[in-house]
């Protein structure tokens, strides 16, 4: 109804050079203990004792907390529930058609307009979602698409076979799970997300209400960005993990024919794997008519691990739809420190969107299939 659905607005974590302070050593003498007064020394001793006591108390309390153990990700037996594939791919989605909650310079169009402009198009083997390239002077924002699966899920194994990801100045594409009308109450799981040239890898993020943190033991190959998933911290940056290499998103990803993202969402935790095209585990059937279920307990270390240690996964994540979009500008891609400083894109983001129709020829998603399995 009046709920807001927002994806990660992690601009703060994309620091431009001006954001890094120059620690020039000007005040170094303050840190020379020989110059400290007696009061300062006594204060320092008291502070040291307080810290030691706090560490001991913390360790004792922590070890009593039954939630503090790394979860047991033992094998679950999965059954195929849904396959999104072929010419009917888009029939399983609603087209989002109101103001972009992420302040993008974009008009998300209804299904009829998307078809008229050929922004969504499905064949037997691929579903394509793209940005309008036919309008020369899109002065109020360019046409694009955001789709939300009609079906909602409450856990499961999701296999996203993606052959092309959008990239280029001003773009902010994403593939994620969320309940747009109950955000952030029912949580958000960002599976694929990048901005502008997207040359530094895919970002995976959770967004929740309070009491969901990832400052715990994790087993993952990705790089931790922030650890508090609560939307009220870090300007709603969420708890993010960055992909291991550039080929996890954008041009480098597309050049190798894309790949497969797998999300296992269970009460123990949420894990996201990325497999390069051709390197998928052999238990993921390449033929979508093969209903054999994969077994993530046999796979390699995931790229992102969000264990339930300090986050009650079952209460923070509910009724998740599969959502995909291609946003333009907005609070992440369009932020000056990101668009201009970090990604070296020309002019202003909205001028770029309005005047460079040809730049969007490569800004498209191509999905081979989505498959969803549930634990039996
Ligand atoms: C999964 O299936 C195997 C083989 O049928 C069985 O041994 C195992 O107990 C099942 N595991 C669960 C969690 O149901
Ligand atoms: C729509 O896009 C698809 C995929 O790129 C293309 O094959 C098809 O010819 C386009 N249809 C029209 C009417 O332009
Ligand atoms: C684009 O449209 C605006 C507003 O109608 C107009 O002022 C501008 O001259 C147009 N630019 C081009 C390149 O056509
Ligand atoms: C976080 O979510 C609450 C609703 O629970 C909302 O009122 C608040 O504006 C959100 N904060 C941000 C930074 O998105
Ligand atoms: C179905 O896929 C599984 C996993 O890839 C494979 O082991 C099995 O041989 C396939 N079955 C058929 C009939 O192709
Ligand atoms: C993913 O889709 C591509 C393109 O259709 C196909 O070649 C590949 O075998 C698929 N891989 C898996 C693991 O489904
Ligand atoms: C989830 O969706 C179902 C069906 O629409 C609804 O009855 C239920 O209240 C929702 N649960 C939450 C926690 O939003």
Cα 329 from Cα 335, distance rounded (Å): 8
Output the CA 225–ligand 4 centroid distance in Å: 20
For residue range 3-22, list pLDDT tens digits in order.
234 554 443 333 332 222 22
- Is the model's pLDDT at 24 over the cut of 60? no
Residue 105 lies in a domain: yes
Judged by phi (left if over 0) then psi (alpha if -120 to 50, else beta), residue 15 lies in: beta
pLDDT for position 324: 98
- How many Å apart are CA 131 and CA 144, to the nearest integer? 5
Helix (H) or strand (E) holding 188: strand 188-193
Is the beta carbon of 315 within 6 A of some atom in ligand 7?
no
Q: Is there a contact between 150 and 89 (Cβ–Cβ < 8 Å)?
A: no
In a domain, 29, yes or no: yes
* 91 shares a domain with 49: no
Task: Collect all residues with Cβ–Cβ distance below 8 Å to 192 and sequence separation of at least 6.
Answer: 160, 162, 165, 173, 174, 175, 176, 202, 204, 249, 261
User: What CATH number does the domain containing 115 carry?
Assistant: 2.60.120.200
Q: Does 236 share its domain with 364?
A: yes
Q: Is residue 10 part of a domain?
A: no
Counting ligands in written order, the one closest to the CA of 118 is: 2
Do residues 308 and 205 both lie within one domain?
A: yes
In this structure, the answer to whether residues 161 and 258 fall within a common structural domain is yes
C-alpha dist (Å) from residue 299 to 82, 162, 222, 265, 271: 22, 19, 16, 15, 11
Confidence of residue 68 (pLDDT cuts 50, 70, 90): low
Index of the ligand 5 atom closest to the CA of residue 290: 1
Q: Of 47, 67, 87, at which residue does a domain stop?
A: 67
- The confidence band for 370, taking pLDDT boundaries of 50, 70 and 90, is very high
| Ligand 3 contact via 139 beta carbon (within 6 Å) | yes
Note if 251 is an active site residue: no
What is the per-residue pLDDT for 26?
32
How far is it, in rounded angstroms, from Cα 203 to Cα 198?
Answer: 10
State pLDDT tens for residues 251-269.
Answer: 999 999 999 999 999 999 9
Query: Is residue 243 scored above 50 in pLDDT?
Result: yes
> Looking at per-residue confidence, does 303 or 42 come out higher?
303
18, 111, 193, 220: which is the annotated catalytic residue?
193
What is the pTM assigned to this prediction? Answer: 0.87
- Asked if residue 65 has pLDDT above 60, the reply is no
Which residues, other chains included, contact 107 with Cβ-Cβ below 8 Å and sequence gap of 6+? 140, 141, 142, 143, 144
- The residue range of the domain holding 48 is 15-67
In a domain, 360, yes or no: yes
Model confidence at 59: pLDDT above 90: no
Confidence class for position 35, pLDDT limits 50, 70, 90: very low
**Which tokens is 275 given?**
């497999």
- Give me the catalytic one of 26, 111, 188, 264: 188
Read off the pLDDT of residues 79-135 as tens digits, 9 standing for 90 and up.
999 999 999 999 999 999 999 999 999 999 999 999 999 999 999 999 999 999 999
Within this chain, do residues 368 and 301 fall inside the same structural domain, yes or no?
Answer: yes
- 161 plus 53 within the same structural domain: no
Residue at 2 is within a domain: no
Pairing of strands 223-224, 188-193: unpaired
Statement to judge: residues 170 and 230 lie in one domain: yes
Same domain, 193 and 120: yes
Indicate whether 179 belongs to any domain. Answer: yes
Ligand found nearest the CA of 258: 6
Contact assessment for residue 109 and residue 98, using Cβ atoms and an 8 Å cutoff = no
Lowest-pLDDT range, 65-74, 76-85, 241-250, 306-315?
Answer: 65-74
Beta-carbon-side half-sphere exposure of residue 310 (alpha carbons within 13 Å): 16
pLDDT confidence of residue 15: 30
First to last CA, the chain: 33
Residue 39 pLDDT: 57
110 and 60 in a single domain? The answer is no
φ, ψ of residue 252 in degrees (nearest 5): -65, -35
Q: Beta strands 78-84 and 364-375: pairing type?
A: antiparallel
Q: What is the dihedral of CA 190, 274, 197, 105, to 10 degrees?
A: -20
Overall domain count for the chain = 2
pLDDT, averaged across the chain:
88
**Residue 112 bears catalytic tag:** no
CA distance 324 to 362: 16
Q: What is the pLDDT of residue 38?
A: 57
- Whether residue 295 lies inside any domain: the answer is yes
Positive/negative CA dihedral, 144, 12, 249, 221: negative
Answer yes or no: do 330 and 224 share one domain. yes
Residues 232 and 265 in one domain: yes
- Ligand 6 center–CA 368 separation, angstroms: 7
Cα distances (Å, whole numbers) of residue 355 to 103, 282, 331, 348? 19, 46, 20, 11
Instruction: Please report the DSSP string for 149-170 in residue order.
Output: ESS-BSSEEEEEEEEE---STT
- At residue 60 the predicted structure's pLDDT band, cuts being 50, 70 and 90, is very low
Contact present, 170 and 196 (Cβ < 8 Å): yes
- Residue 39 main-chain phi, psi, to 5 deg: -55, -45
Which residue lies with its CA nearest to atom 4 of ligand 2? 121
Ligand with minimal distance to 83 CA: 6
* 163-211 pLDDT per residue, tens: 999 999 999 999 999 999 999 999 999 999 999 999 999 999 999 999 9
What pLDDT shows up at residue 19? 29
Q: Are residues 154 and 53 in the same domain?
A: no
Q: Which of 290, 294, 299 to mutate to test the pocket of ligand 5 (most atoms within 8 A of CB)?
A: 290
* Exposure b/e, 256-286, CB count within 10 A at least 16 = b: eebbbbbbbbbebbbbbbbbebeebeeebbe
Q: How far is CA 244 from the centre of its chain?
A: 14
Ligand 2 contacts CB of residue 118 (under 6 A): yes
Question: Does a structural domain hold residue 5?
Answer: no
Q: What is the pLDDT of residue 20?
A: 27
Alpha-carbon span 105 to 141, nearest angstrom = 5
Tell me: the pLDDT tens digits for 322-353? 999 999 999 999 999 999 999 999 999 999 99
């Amino acid at each position: 109804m009046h709920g807001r659905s927002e994806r990660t607005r992690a601009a703060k974590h994309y620091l431009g050079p001006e954001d890094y302070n120059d620690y020039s050593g000007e005040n170094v003498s303050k840190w020379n203990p020989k110059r400290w007064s007696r009061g300062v020394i006594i204060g320092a001793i008291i502070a040291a004792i307080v810290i030691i006591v706090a560490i001991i108390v913390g360790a004792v309390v922590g070890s009593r907390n039954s939630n503090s153990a790394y979860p047991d990700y033992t094998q679950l037996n999965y059954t195929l529930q849904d396959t999104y594939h072929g010419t009917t791919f888009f029939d399983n989605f609603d087209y989002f058609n109101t103001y972009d909650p992420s302040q993008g310079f974009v008009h998300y169009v209804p299904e009829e307009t998307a078809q008229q402009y050929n922004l969504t198009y499905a064949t037997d083997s691929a579903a394509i979602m793209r940005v309008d390239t036919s309008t020369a002077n899109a002065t109020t924002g360019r046409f694009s698409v955001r789709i939300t699966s009609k079906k909602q899920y409450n856990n499961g194994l999701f296999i996203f076979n993606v052959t092309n990801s959008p990239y280029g100045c001003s773009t902010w594409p994403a593939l994620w799970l969320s309940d747009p009308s109950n955000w952030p109450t029912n949580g958000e799981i960002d599976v694929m997300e990048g901005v502008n040239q997207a040359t530094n890898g895919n970002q995976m993020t959770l967004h929740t209400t309070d009491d969901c943190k990832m400052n715990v033991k994790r087993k993952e190959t990705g790089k931790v960005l922030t650890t508090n998933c609560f939307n009220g911290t870090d300007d709603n940056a969420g708890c993010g993990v960055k992909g291991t290499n550039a080929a996890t998103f954008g041009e480098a990803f597309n050049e190798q024919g894309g790949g497969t993202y797998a999300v296992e969402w269970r009460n123990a935790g949420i894990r996201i794997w990325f497999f390069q095209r051709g390197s998928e585990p052999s238990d993921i059937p390449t033929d979508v008519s093969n209903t054999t279920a994969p077994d993530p307990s046999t796979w390699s270390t995931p790229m992102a691990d969000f264990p339930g240690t300090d986050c009650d996964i079952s209460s923070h994540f509910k009724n998740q739809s599969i959502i995909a979009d291609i946003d333009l500008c907005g609070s992440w891609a369009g932020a000056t420190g990101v668009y201009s400083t970090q990604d070296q894109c020309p002019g202003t983001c909205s001028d770029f969107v309005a005047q460079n129709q040809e730049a969007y020829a490569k800004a498209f998603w191509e999905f081979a299939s989505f498959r969803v399995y549930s634990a039996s």
